[in-house]
Amino acid sequence: MSVTVVGVDIGNSTTEASVALIDEDGSVRYVGVALTRTTGIKGTVKNVDGVVKAVTRAAQDAGIRLADLDVILLNEATPVISGLAMETITETIITESTMIGHDPRTPGGRGLGVGTIVDFGALPDAAPGDQVIVVVPRGVDFDLTASTLNAAVERGVDVTAAILGNDDAVLVANRLNRPIPIIDEVSRVDAVPVGMLAAVEVAGPGQSIRTLSNAYGLATIFELDPDQTRVVSPVARALTGNRSAVVIRTPSGDVEDRTIPAGSLEFIGAAKRGSIDVSRGAAEIMAEVERVSPLRDVLGESGTNTGGMISNVRQSMADLSKHALADVHIGDLLAIDTLVPQEVRGGVAGEVALENAVALAAMVRTKESGMQAVADAVAAALADAGCRRISAVVGGVEAEMAVLGALTTPGTDKPLVVLDMGGGSTDAAVIDSEGATQAVHLAGAGDLVTKLIDAELGLDNLELAEEIKQFPLGKAESFFHVRLENGTVQFFEKPLSPNAFARVVTLTPTGMNPIPTRHSLDRIRAVRRTAKERVFVVNALRALRGIAPHGDLRRIGFVVLLGGCALDFEIPDLIADAVAPYGIVCGTGNVRGTEGPRNAVASGLVAAYAATQGAPDRISVDA
């Protein structure tokens, strides 16, 4: 007589189920699978709704009534919460007006103009030979602006550039007898200081400025000494990549880079302790983590964002798992250096500079698992649904079940490593040639990548950042064709949406979604790939070194990638390229030859249960 069992893998983001019929001789027939979103934090009783939904759908897929199920097998997993913090550790400060905010996408004319700033109303008073840059307030018609500038030039005034409050740069430039660089849409044109030496630069279409984005170019224009050049270098850095810019020299104006106190982290290891300031950067933070490893806990300086993040994830875990705060510890921490656009303090109109920042991901683990409570709650919920005879048990440790399921991937053999990359953590497990297993759990995965993309592109939209992470990009170059990020072109019979024209778009299964940002396709792609490399590749290598014999990656034969991130269109290739020098065979898993990288733990639970039939004291790891 066969037994009908359901293996259920409760993950951080998804819950997977696998229905199988186990005969008396221990042979297994898998007949149904299901995938649902995890409800609540993994390893807590809030998982019950997601488990019941997954079991119900898997039974329907198998054509089996819920009442005919015998055993529900749950994975033994300690709850994990990952917290993220983005700490900006440098800050650009401007005293008085050194830069003027404007729209760098809509300038007129081209070239570099240097002169003294004069008000539009005072232009008729300018003497012949004066080198001036004219500031035109809002409300002045472009025809009047152009005719007044032409009249001044005819009188011998050397008008070298213009600064407009309206969006009229191209209209004015087209009506001038002598071309000059013009910037427009200056939001606080009334704050532009008159009588100061200034420089305006406009590059040609498709190009970026060269002089004002170069610290030595600024030094040449404004006759700066070495100390002054060092001071204005943040201005040049902030203007890099713009098509147009304006810089004004004010006698008492100053620009400085300042390091922001971001707080310190205290690491408590099994045998060592250490402390480091977050402002030292990711390299030194991770070196300290490595020095005190294995990590037992992390404390953050109170009163800082870093300390707040550490405290919040610890308290969240305590509240959800009903454990005492003293029993909740930081199991791992990942720090990554990044650059994020931040508004310049003291700027006139929202000037932005790329500031140094450190992204932190912390993983919290509890003292013990509460999975038996989850199993009891699942059995009770199914009993209420009419499944009186069903039982729910904790069927095996998650890491062991993952490698058991991964071994059903065709072409694999021991020793084998499983890399399960989810939303909050990267988990790895190894099985050696004798069948012994070992696991490691690291902070940082898909959620951190999303936050890095969001921060570095200045999107302030995590849903859009998630979409950029998941899908390739294209550029709608006409209403009938899109150039893909790999350089190829895709043509369409019907015209594209006007919203997508001339925009960078994400190529989703449901269509093209425009990305509302000024960044180029190459820039967005570079940010996306770099974020994945700094999280997934770094964590993959950390995990492999943590479980490889004596830390030697060459002693690992096969690496199987599992989880949702293994379905990503570029992550498996990035990791495979990183481990290729060590002779490791790496690829996306194909559990049972049919399920791809999904269902490994659920299938492993079923296989382990089947292996105990007739030999309850032994769980085989051969699939």
Dig out the tokens for 574 from the structure: 């990035």
Confidence class for position 91, pLDDT limits 50, 70, 90:
low
Half-sphere exposure of 146 toward its Cβ, with a 13 Å CA cutoff?
17
Which residues of the chain are in CATH 3.30.420.40 domains?
1-78+369-409+598-622, 411-475+508-589
CATH architecture of 411-475+508-589: 2-Layer Sandwich (3.30)
Ramachandran area for residue 395 (φ above 0: left; ψ -120 to 50: alpha; else beta): alpha
CATH for the stretch 82-89+260-365: 3.90.470.30
Tell me: pLDDT of 365 over 80. no
Backbone angles phi, psi at 352, to 5 degrees: -120, 140
pLDDT (tens digit per residue) in 551-568: 888 888 899 999 888 999
Alpha helices in 79-225 (DSSP H): 142-154, 169-173, 215-222
Percent of the chain clearing pLDDT 90 (strictly above): 48
pTM of the model: 0.76
Other beta carbons within 10 Å of 517: 16
pLDDT (tens digit per residue) in 281-298: 889 999 999 999 889 999
Which residues of the chain are in CATH 3.50.30.70 domains?
96-256
Which residues partner with 131 through β-bridges?
158
Mean pLDDT to the nearest integer, 26-35: 92
Tell me: pLDDT of 232 over 90. no
- State which CATH number among 3.40.640.10, 3.40.190.10, 3.50.30.70, 2.30.110.10 fits the domain covering 96-256: 3.50.30.70
Tell me: pLDDT of 359 over 80. yes
Give the β-pairing of 14-22 and 28-37. antiparallel
Per the listing, tokens 């919460």 go with: 81
Between 620 and 101, residue with greater pLDDT: 101
What lies within 8 Å, CB to CB, of 123 at 6+ separation is 132, 134, 148, 149, 152, 157, 159
pLDDT (tens digit per residue) in 128-155: 999 999 999 988 999 999 999 999 999 9
Closest CA to 242 of 389, 365, 61, 100: 100
Which region among 40-44, 82-86, 139-143, 557-561 has the lowest average model confidence (pLDDT)?
82-86
Q: What angle do CA 474, 479, 481 make, to 5 degrees?
A: 45
Dig out the tokens for 386 from the structure: 């009419």
Residue 124 DSSP SS3: helix
CATH for the stretch 1-78+369-409+598-622: 3.30.420.40
Closest CA to 420 of 11, 33, 41: 11
Confidence class for position 461, pLDDT limits 50, 70, 90:
very high
Indicate the average pLDDT of the chain. Answer: 85
pLDDT at 623: 34
Tell me: pLDDT of 491 over 80. yes
* Chain centre distance of CA 387: 43
Dig out the tokens for 320 from the structure: 């959800």
